[in-house]
Amino acid sequence: MTHRRPVALAHACRLINHGPTVLVSVSHEGRRNVMAAAWSMPVEFTPPRVAVVIDKSTFTRGLVLGSGLFALCIPCRALADLTTTVGRTSGRDEDKFARHTIASFTGPALGLPLIEGCVAWMECRRIAEPHSEAAYDTFFGEVVSAQADDRVFAEGRWSLRADNADLHTLHHLGGGQYGVVDSVVSGKVLDPT
């Protein structure tokens, strides 16, 4: 049984609001690829828009420029090894999907390869910003489909609990290490009276 559910586009930016490491997946003219990216963020709610840094050295970048499309897949604790692997190897010389037996499914809006085992997925159309792409390696995209695993994201919110720890998102600390959420605190508006 799949736990994948559509997420309203109005809530799509919440999927990366808390700064998880993402997997950028892409395909173009028969080539597909996936890399890790710690640097992504929402930049607009309506329409939902995101930014992600895709370095000039990456193979992914050429496929994004060629296709005008990219997906952000959000891996969980159980995918820590895969995240490091696709972040330390290049798809330039070999297909990472075949090499590492990475299962994917087809994105509903753009047909992009979305990574199985992740806990959220967004398909994005590149918004061409040649200056920021060249100067800062920063790519912008409009989110056109969003999905999430309903065991950790439901009714427009993440729900990171002790009983779904394997599904918690990864937060890059450097050196192949990731933090995961250990506990959640509520923030209330201070009442100065």
Instruction: Tell whether residue 12 is a contact of ligand FMN (CB under 6 A).
Output: no
For residue 28, CA distances in Å to 68, 94, 164 come to 9, 15, 35
Confirm if 33 and 71 have CB atoms less than 8 A apart.
Answer: no
Least distance CB 56 / ligand FMN (angstroms): 8
Q: Does 25 interact with ligand FMN (rule: CB under 6 A)?
A: no
The site that binds ligand FMN (CB under 6 A) totals a number of residues, namely: 22
Contact status: 67 vs ligand FMN (CB under 6 A): no
Among residues 19 and 156, whose Cβ is nearest to ligand FMN? Answer: 19
Residues 129-168 as x/- pattern, contact with ligand FMN by CB under 6 A? ----------------------------------------
Determine, following the binding rule CB under 6 A, whether residue 39 of this chain makes contact with ligand FMN: yes
Rounded CA Rg of the chain: 16
Task: Supply 40's token pair.
Answer: 């992504």
In the bound state with ligand FMN, the residue whose beta carbon lies nearer, of 25 and 147, is 25
Angle, alpha carbons 65-69-73 (nearest 5°) = 120
Contact (Cβ atoms closer than 8 angstroms) between residue 78 and residue 118: no
Cβ atoms 47, 103 nearer than 8 A: no
| 55 lies in the site for ligand FMN, by CB under 6 A | yes
CB atoms within 10 A of CB 154: 14
Q: Residues in the site for ligand FMN, rule: CB under 6 A?
A: 21, 33, 35-39, 53-55, 58-60, 83-84, 87-92, 172
